[in-house]
Amino acid sequence: WHKRTITLHFTHGDHREADHDEALLIAHLCEEAARFFTPEAGYGTITRINYMDGVRFYFDSGDIAHIRPSGNAPQLRFYAVANSQQRAEQMVRDALAEPSGLLRSMELES
């Protein structure tokens, strides 16, 4: 029997309300992102954007799309959270499809 030590980690977060200019910027970013995350592709309305470790888009459907640069390769990574495995896999396929997937479309528009 081996004795193991468990290391506890704690996290904490808080927020502040966005001022008028920040609120306008957030609204603009949601509008721009909505051009790519469309209802036709199964996405709902973007309800929140988080910039920790890349960019996470939260949708009213419960889906989460997370885009971030790789830490060890010249590539973008796309992660999906959805209500089913099939939906999460479809989100990733749609994002990474070549030549006209979501990530490539975003790149061409920038």
Q: Yes or no: say if 96 and 103 are a contact pair by the CB < 8 Å rule.
A: yes
In a domain, 63, yes or no: yes
Residue numbers of the domain that contains 80: 20-109
Tens digit of each residue's pLDDT (9 = 90 or more) over 4-19: 787 776 766 666 676 7
- Tell me the average pLDDT of the chain: 84
Model confidence over 38-76: pLDDT tens digits?
888 889 999 988 888 888 999 999 999 998 888 888 888
Please tell me the predicted confidence (pLDDT) of residue 80. 94
- Identify the band that residue 88 occupies on the pLDDT scale cut at 50, 70 and 90: very high
SS (H, E, C) the chain: CCCCCCCCCCCCCCCCCCCHHHHHHHHHHHHHHHCCCCHHHCCCCEEEEECCCCEEEEECCCCEEEEEECCCCCCEEEEEECCCHHHHHHHHHHHHCCCCCHHHHHHHHC
Could you give the number of structural domains in the chain?
1
Q: Is residue 9 part of a domain?
A: no
